[in-house]
Structures are given as structure tokens and as C-alpha cells.
Amino acid sequence: MLIHPQSASFDELSVVVPTLIRQPTLRKLAERVQHETLNAVTSPAMYSSYNTSQSARILDSLYQTPIADASILVAITHERHPKLLLTRRAAHMNSHAGEVSCAGGKYEIGDGNNVVTALREACEETALPPNKVQLLGQLPIQTSKSGMSVRPIVALIAPGLVLVPEMGEISRIFWADFEKLLTQPTVEYSVEYTMQDETSTILTPSWQVEGETVWGLTGRVIASLLETGFDRQLEWYYRIQNTRL
């Protein structure tokens, strides 16, 4: 399970009850994400008992979801003006070096489920205590450019937590204004991509946040979050730039 001294076992984790969330944007998000999470359960008949709470059903759904190659924590502060936790990966990393990401990483034997993977990795990378996390649910699987399956776990965290980047993996921790993401237009971003000794320029949507460019898998996760929670439809593409005159 979790290896950090402030860890919490899966059964001790808490799920946010949407009716107890006063901030309207977060309340709507919680309702939609939990609906998505419960709909993904392969055997909904097991939840037919009226004695089963919403929180218990969400935890059961998360526990039974097939294990992905990696999981990330989509952590949003529970406050009047919520913020989304983002990190920039260290420049020396073998994969996604210098790119913006949500805290998270690969599944390890002993994790047992995607939630524990996301919380363990977030704790290792940012010192976020797992017992300070309140779960909302999960988003659909995303696939990284290396072909790994990645499960986003959505959660609320208290504002003002002291987070510290693990400099071996993370060079910066920063925050996106969550409500601004709901309406902020994407900006086309160009990135050089090399395959078989040939380099092309790829165009793709991105967000500009705190001087950082949010694109790729992280951008797709945010787009999925906005579509699930608020029906915001964003075209997400990767297009080779035509350099012919």
C-alpha cells in the first residue's frame, strides 16, 4: 500500500458528498464525475441495496476498476476560488522531461488499485498527504504517447497545504485557476517531434498557465474533466504542420 508515514489505507479514504459542497462549480463537478464513475461499473446490480451509501459505491467502483499502467491525481482545492494542482517534470527525466503534468506515475505491485497508485505517486512527488485527499471519482482512461494506459483520479484537497517538489522528478509545483479553465480558449502550440531521424512540427491545442504550456496528455485530461463536468467540448488534435510553400 502507501509507503509514506502519513499514508492512509484505501478503506480509510473519504469520498466527497456533493450535497455538502457549497461552491457551486465544485458541487456540479462532483455530481458529474461521480455519475461517470458509477456508470463505469460493470455490475451495477451489486449496488441495488438502499443501505449502500453513495460514498461506499464510489469506493467500490474505484476499487474494482481494472488497473491501468499508471494513474494521476487531478487535485483541485476545495475553496471559493478553486485551483488545479499542476507540476513541471524535471528536465533530466527519461520521459516527458520538462513537460507539465498532474502528479502521478506508474503502478507498482502492492498498490492494489489505481487510487493508491495516484496517491502514492502524488505524495512522493509533492509531499501531499493521502489522508488530506477527498475523492470525487475517476475519468476515462487516456493513452500516453508511449502507449501506456493512464487513469485520472479526481479529488479535492484543502487550500493552503504545504507542498514540496521532489527535485529528482519535479522542478516546479504551480496552480491553474480552475474556473478560468472553463472558459479560457486553447492556444495552438507547436512542438518538434522526431521519428526515424525525421523531424516534423506538430500542432496541438494547449493552455497557458502561470507561464507554462499545458498540452499533451495533461491537456487531454483537463479537456476530459471539463467535458465530463461541464459539457465543454474541445477539439483535441495533433496535426503535422504543412511547411510547403
Q: Which residue has the higher pLDDT, 206 or 53?
A: 206
pLDDT digits (tens, 9 = 90+) for 109-139: 999 999 999 999 999 999 999 999 999 999 9
Q: What is the pLDDT of residue 2?
A: 36
Whether 49 has a pLDDT exceeding 60, the answer reads no
The CA distance from 206 to 213, in Å, is 6
Q: What is the pLDDT of residue 96?
A: 53
Largest separation between any pair of C-alpha atoms in the chain: 68
Q: Which residue has the higher pLDDT, 198 or 19?
A: 19
The confidence band for 173, taking pLDDT boundaries of 50, 70 and 90, is very high
Whether 47 has a pLDDT exceeding 60, the answer reads no
Whether 43 has a pLDDT exceeding 50, the answer reads yes
Whether 51 has a pLDDT exceeding 60, the answer reads no
What is the helix (H) or strand (E) element at residue 175, kind and residue range? strand 170-177
Whether 16 and 136 have beta carbons less than 8 Å apart is answered as yes
pTM over 0.85: yes
Phi-psi region of 126 (alpha: psi -120 to 50; beta: other; left: phi over 0): alpha
Neighbour tally for 115: CB within 10 Å = 25
**What mean pLDDT is reported for the chain?**
88
The CA distance from 163 to 59, in Å, is 26
Residue 13, SS3? coil
Q: What is the pLDDT of residue 79?
A: 97
The CA distance from 115 to 152, in Å, is 9
Whether 73 and 103 have beta carbons less than 8 Å apart is answered as yes
CA distances from 64 to 46, 57, 128 (A): 12, 10, 24
Phi-psi region of 41 (alpha: psi -120 to 50; beta: other; left: phi over 0): beta
The confidence band for 241, taking pLDDT boundaries of 50, 70 and 90, is confident
Gap between the terminal Cα atoms of the chain: 57
pLDDT digits (tens, 9 = 90+) for 6-25: 444 555 688 999 999 999 99
The CA distance from 17 to 22, in Å, is 11
Residue 19 corresponds to which amino acid? T
